[in-house]
Structure 1
Amino acid sequence: MATYAIGDLQGCLTPLLKLLDIIQYNPDQDQLWFAGDLINRGPESLATLRFIYSLRDKVKVVLGNHDLHLLALSRGFGRLKRSDTLKEILNAPDRDQLLDWLQSQPLCHFDKELNTVMVHAGIPPCWNLEQALQHSKEVESTLKSDHADDFFSIMYGNKSHKWDDSLTGMERLRVIVNYLTRMRFCTDSGRLDLKSKEGPSTALANYAPWFSYPSKLPQDCQVVFGHWAALEGKVNYPNIHALDTGCVWGGSLTAIRLDDRLLFSTPCPL
């Protein structure tokens, strides 16, 4: 049995199937982790979501910003962007089944045996593991409740920029979501820059990649994340594993075997 974590699919099913062939994936023995952004921008969003749903008892998924965008659109919030490839899902006869399952997924997943945490964007330097998991559960509980629409109605936005334990209500949830699904650059105290999207060398003064700061996570805890294609999978920190290698942009799709941290990839031509 092996466990593989895979980066952002963004609706690219064909490369995923190629990658599963490369790793000789056995659904009866192996487990797959997906680091969020299962859909959007790519040409096979509906087919991708259906495929992962078909494996739902054998996969671990965390929500990414594109997944949350789809869920908000399905409830009448936000707007469909020109680059979105979500209409097919929104119009699918099985959309409710697929979206109900998607909405029940966490924002953060930790496996004690593997000593590995998976999140879409990252864990800010101001949180330890227990805080990250607890704050993730706050959002997850809301998404599973009658207040989900209240959250989706305010989800979009960059404020507040920084975590504060005194934050309450929907503003608190939005900051949690921005950390876990949108973060790239922050200050050592956790103040976010949510506008910069390029590589580490483009950081504003006093900002740096979230993973460059001293971590409050347990010693030797491994972090797998996606979201930041401009990194091209390169972070140069032994416990940090960037899995978004730009599949939807013509890069590659990457998996890491968590048991021995061996990497696998397949090209994703445009």
Structure 2
Amino acid sequence: MSTYAIGDIQGCFASFMRLLEHCRFDPAADRLWLVGDLVNRGPRSLETLRFVKALGAAAIVVLGNHDLSLLMAAEGFGKRGKDDTFDDILQAPDREELLFWLRHQRLCHVENGHCLVHAGLLPQWTAAAARALAGEVEAALAAPGWREFLAHLWGSEPASWRDDLTGWPRLRVIVNAMTRMRFCTPDGVMDFRAKGEVGNAPPGYLPWFEAPGRRSADTTLVTGHWSALGLKMLPNLLALDSGCLWGGPLTAVRLEDRALFQVPCSVEEIRVW
């Protein structure tokens, strides 16, 4: 059995299919680890979601910020982006089945020395602690009051973690760290305004994975989210968003031996701004 970790798909279904063919992925024997952002910005979010859902146990999925944006938009919460392309899902006859499935996916997955999470982990969290905190969010998304949780999810405050946080602020920090973070201070204060390359870090901030003393450094983090960072393979980091949507390749790494697989983005999937 091989495990293929794949970067942000974001509705780039044609590239996704070519990458699976390139990997010779066998759903009967292999597994996919998908870093989140299955949907949005690309042209075929509906087909992507249907395909991954049909894989069943062959796919381990963690939620990304665009996946959560879809869930919020379906209930009328949050802010729709002018470039959103998930209306095909919202108008689909199997909409409720797909959204129910998406709402019950993980926020973080830890297995065999690897931690799969969309954006990253705050410096204070071990992988085991992050898995426990992710469980709190997953429980809220699956609970009878899940709509109320989505109604309180939007926002960037608090910007840092405290163990005594409770309620919606506690869950919001967990979600924002795991699905939106790029830069933070050494003690874990997040910035959500700065984007782009590592050199764009505001004064006093650094990429989350460079935080000194980061407590998850003994685990290999498998992430996406940061297309401007590009593919980055360190001993304890596999950052796999290589910017397929922006003309870069779609990337997979086989976790057992770190073999790299890439396919170029299909022309019809590249965003033109």
Structure 1: which 5+ residue stretches go unaligned?
none
Distance in 2 (alpha carbons) for counterparts of 1:158 and 1:51: 32
Moved more, 68-77 or 2-11: 68-77
**Cα offsets for 1:2-29 (capped at 9, x unmatched):** 0000000000000011101111111111
Aligned position for 1:118: 116
Deviating beyond 4 angstroms after TM superposition, the runs of 4 or more aligned structure 1 residues are none
Structure 2: which 5+ residue stretches go unaligned?
none
Aligned position for 1:27: 27
Q: CA deviation at 1:57?
A: 2.1
Matched, 1:155 2:181: no
**Cα offsets for 1:188-245 (capped at 9, x unmatched):** 11100011111111111110000012331263x211100000011136x321011001
Q: CA deviation at 1:129?
A: 1.5
Aligned position for 2:198: 200
Q: CA deviation at 1:263?
A: 1.2
Query: Are 2:118 and 2:225, in contact at CA under 8 Å, matched by a contact in 1?
Result: yes
Specify the code of the residue in structure 1 equivalent to 2:154. Answer: Y
How many residues are paired up? 266
Distance in 2 (alpha carbons) for counterparts of 1:18 and 1:95: 26
Structure 2 residue matching 1:180: 3-state secondary structure: helix
In structure 2, which of residues 229, 232, 236 is the aligned counterpart of residue 231 of structure 1?
A: 229
Structure 2 residue matching 1:143: 3-state secondary structure: helix
Aligned position for 2:237: 240
Pairwise CA RMSD = 1.1
Structure 1 residue matching 2:18: 3-state secondary structure: helix
Aligned position for 1:183: 181
Specify the code of the residue in structure 1 equivalent to 2:249. Answer: S
Specify the code of the residue in structure 1 equivalent to 2:216. Answer: L
Specify the code of the residue in structure 2 equivalent to 1:171. Answer: P
Q: CA deviation at 1:37?
A: 0.2
Aligned position for 1:80: 80
Query: Are 2:217 and 2:236, in contact at CA under 8 Å, matched by a contact in 1?
Result: no
Aligned position for 2:62: 62
Aligned position for 2:166: 168
Q: CA deviation at 1:164?
A: 0.6
Query: Are 2:119 and 2:179, in contact at CA under 8 Å, matched by a contact in 1?
Result: yes
Moved more, 72-81 or 168-177: 72-81
**Cα offsets for 1:141-182 (capped at 9, x unmatched):** 000002211111121111101001111100110010000000
Distance in 2 (alpha carbons) for counterparts of 1:140 and 1:56: 18
